[in-house]
A and B are shown apart, each in its own frame.
Chain A
Amino acid sequence: QEFQFGPCRVEGVVLQKLWQAFWAVKDIVQAQDNITSVQLLRKEVLQNVPETESCHLIHALLRFYVNTVFKSYRDKAVEFGILKSFSILANNFFVIVSKLQASQEKMFSTRKTARRRFLLFHRAFKQLDREAAVTKAFGEMDILLSWMEKFYQL
């Protein structure tokens, strides 16, 4: 049970638990997203990512989720009564970001291209109304988890 994002390894996170946490709230969360014409985590962000870039990209994305998306979504999590799932996802993303922090700092060569992918996501996020963007990003966690699953080894 570990992630291997190119050279970066992360142990101690059980992906199945993250899936279970998201599935428990998926319908409630995605029902709030009325903008169906936009996808933040679109193909250009996550498709055909070379292994060597995967560490930077996932670190940037998860750090954004921890510092922005979860922080902004917390009142809704209370409102919708989904704190348990919220806590599982937030704390495990927090663990992954902390563990990736050291290893991704050592890799400079692939940062620029990974950064470009993250900025595609970030620009799309910024173009939406803040609350709508947070709701959409939270609802797109299944896209993120599916991509992370490719790097997961039982």
Chain B
Amino acid sequence: DGAAVLPAPQNLSVRSVNMKHVLTWSPVIVPEEIIHYSVEYQGEYESLYMSHIWIPSSWCSPTQRPECDITEDITATVSYSLRVRATLGSLTSAWSTLKHRFNQNSTILTPPRMEITMDGFHLLIKLEDLGPHFEFFVSYWRKEPGAKEHVKVVRPGVLPVYLEMVEPGAAYCVKARTFVKAIGRHSAFSQPECVKVQGEALPL
């Protein structure tokens, strides 16, 4: 019947890094028109027991951008279905559903950025604040043959970290990785960073 049909968004995918999840799709193009999108989700429970019910996303029902931060919608370590549709005035496209369900346990965990400084005779570590999900395993040692490696677990919100008393003239190295209890996974270690303490080494 020649009625205008709005194409459904294509190429849905989720980009998830350090427990921040963003759903993206290819924009629907209609020259000189502004397209709005609506995003909805279903947790595993809904899919199993109430599959006709979808929940509007917190931030993207509607949105004009071809992406949606769904971090606040993913609130359990179960698989989620996600769908998007386009709207132009009274025209609405069909829903496009993410081909593979998304589970936050697939998020990419990157080694944490860190900064090592001295505070008097203390080694001070500033770690990237990645949010309440993240603990840090900080490993540090004195840069000399046979030195013992120490490990410190840093809980969320306990930054910066004082490591230990250091000796003048000595060098110390530090590396760190993140751990996310919600998904039981950790990142790779960051590259070790070393610092030399000012002053003369103490006589033996």
Q: Which residue of A lies closest to B155 (CB)?
A: A154
The answer to whether B188 has its CB under 8 Å from any CB of chain A is: no
Q: With the chains together, A74 CA to B77 CA distance in Å?
A: 21
In the bound complex, do residue B182 and residue A74 qualify as a contact, i.e. CB atoms below 8 Å apart? no
Complex interface residues of chain B between 30 and 61 (CB less than 8 A to chain A): 43-46, 49-50, 53, 55, 58
- A74: chain B residues within 8 A (beta carbon): 49-50, 53
Q: Please classify the interface of chain B as helix (H, G, I), strand (E, B), loop, or mixed, using the class held by over half of its residues.
A: loop
The answer to whether A90 has its CB under 8 Å from any CB of chain B is: yes
Q: With the chains together, A8 CA to B78 CA distance in Å?
A: 20
In the bound complex, do residue B181 and residue A12 qualify as a contact, i.e. CB atoms below 8 Å apart? yes
Among A29-37, A38-46, A91-99, A106-114, the one that faces the other chain is: A91-99
In the bound complex, do residue B181 and residue A87 qualify as a contact, i.e. CB atoms below 8 Å apart? no
Complex interface residues of chain A between 82 and 126 (CB less than 8 A to chain B): 83-84, 87-88, 90-92, 94-95
In the bound complex, do residue B50 and residue A17 qualify as a contact, i.e. CB atoms below 8 Å apart? no
Interface membership of chain A positions 67-85, coded 1 if the CB is closer than 8 angstroms to chain B and 0 otherwise: 0001100100010000110
**A88 and B76 in contact (CB under 8 A), knowing A70-B49, A74-B49?**
yes
In the bound complex, do residue A95 and residue B78 qualify as a contact, i.e. CB atoms below 8 Å apart? yes
In the bound complex, do residue A2 and residue B43 qualify as a contact, i.e. CB atoms below 8 Å apart? no
Which one, A2, A70, A92, contacts B76 given CB within 8 A?
A92
Expressed in whole angstroms, the minimum distance between the Cβ of B55 and any Cβ of chain A is 5
On chain B, which size bracket covers the interface?
10 to 19
Expressed in whole angstroms, the minimum distance between the Cβ of A54 and any Cβ of chain B is 20
In the bound complex, do residue A87 and residue B49 qualify as a contact, i.e. CB atoms below 8 Å apart? no
Which one, A1, A70, A94, contacts B44 given CB within 8 A?
A94
In the bound complex, do residue A88 and residue B75 qualify as a contact, i.e. CB atoms below 8 Å apart? yes
Q: Which residue of A lies closest to B46 (CB)?
A: A87
In the bound complex, do residue B78 and residue A83 qualify as a contact, i.e. CB atoms below 8 Å apart? no
- A25: chain B residues within 8 A (beta carbon): none
The answer to whether A66 has its CB under 8 Å from any CB of chain B is: yes
Which one, A17, A66, A70, A71, contacts B75 given CB within 8 A?
A17
Interface membership of chain B positions 171-204, coded 1 if the CB is closer than 8 angstroms to chain A and 0 otherwise: 0000000000111100000000000000000000
In the bound complex, do residue B53 and residue A12 qualify as a contact, i.e. CB atoms below 8 Å apart? no
Q: Which residue of A lies closest to B75 (CB)?
A: A88
Which one, B50, B76, B184, contacts A95 given CB within 8 A?
B76
In the bound complex, do residue A94 and residue B76 qualify as a contact, i.e. CB atoms below 8 Å apart? yes
- A13: chain B residues within 8 A (beta carbon): 76-77, 182
**A11 and B181 in contact (CB under 8 A), knowing A87-B55, A90-B43, A95-B78?**
yes
The answer to whether A128 has its CB under 8 Å from any CB of chain B is: no
- B182: chain A residues within 8 A (beta carbon): 1, 11-14
Expressed in whole angstroms, the minimum distance between the Cβ of B123 and any Cβ of chain A is 26
- Which residues of A does B touch, CB under 8 Å? 1-2, 11-14, 17, 21, 66, 70-71, 74, 78, 83-84, 87-88, 90-92, 94-95, 154
Known: A12-B182, A70-B45, A94-B44. 17 other contacts (CB 8 A): A1-B182, A11-B184, A14-B132, A17-B75, A21-B75, A66-B45, A71-B50, A74-B50, A83-B53, A83-B55, A84-B55, A90-B46, A91-B46, A91-B76, A92-B75, A94-B43, A95-B78
Please list 6 pairs of residues, one from A and one from B, whose beta carbons are closer than 8 Å in the complex, sorted by A's number: A13-B76, A17-B75, A21-B75, A74-B49, A83-B55, A91-B78
